[in-house]
Amino acid sequence: MKKIITSKNAPAPIGPYSHGVLINDTLYISGQVGKKASTGELVTSDIESETRQVMENTGAILKEAYMDFNNVVKTTIFLTDMNNFSAVNKVYGSYFTKDYPARETVQVSELPLGVNVEISVIAVR
């Protein structure tokens, strides 16, 4: 059974997609960017703040599905500049305490809204 997950604490999708889709006990979260839900403001002043906002948006969607970062089993990080890898990795890693999820990180030429980082997540109850 498919259930659409939407959080008022994550920015509204900018296209025809959902924040997340829950199928049985697996949650697929669309790529999140560093945009504040409350104001619509993009957080791009520095890569650490931007990544933190991405993770907070992701956390809001996880919470809406009664999950948290301990439920995350797979992530994909998209970067426009691989030179930001270590800074993104430091912030990203602070959201996990053990049993880290599987992950890949790829550099792309451009991301929506001109952001520097986007992260998608798969979580399981």
* Domain housing 73: 2-124
In terms of Cα–Cα distance, which of 37, 108, 15, 75 is closest to 117?
108
pTM for this prediction:
0.97
Residue 114 CA to residue 125 CA, distance in Å, equals 33
Residue 76 in contact with residue 123, Cβ under 8 Å?
A: no
Could you tell me the CATH number of the domain that includes residue 99? 3.30.1330.40
- Among residues 112, 1, 15, 17, which one has the least CA distance to residue 61? 17
pLDDT tens digits for 22-74? 999 999 999 999 999 999 999 999 999 999 999 999 999 999 999 999 999 99
Structure tokens at 84: 């930001």
Number of domains in the chain: 1
How far apart are the two ends of the chain, measured CA to CA in Å?
Answer: 15
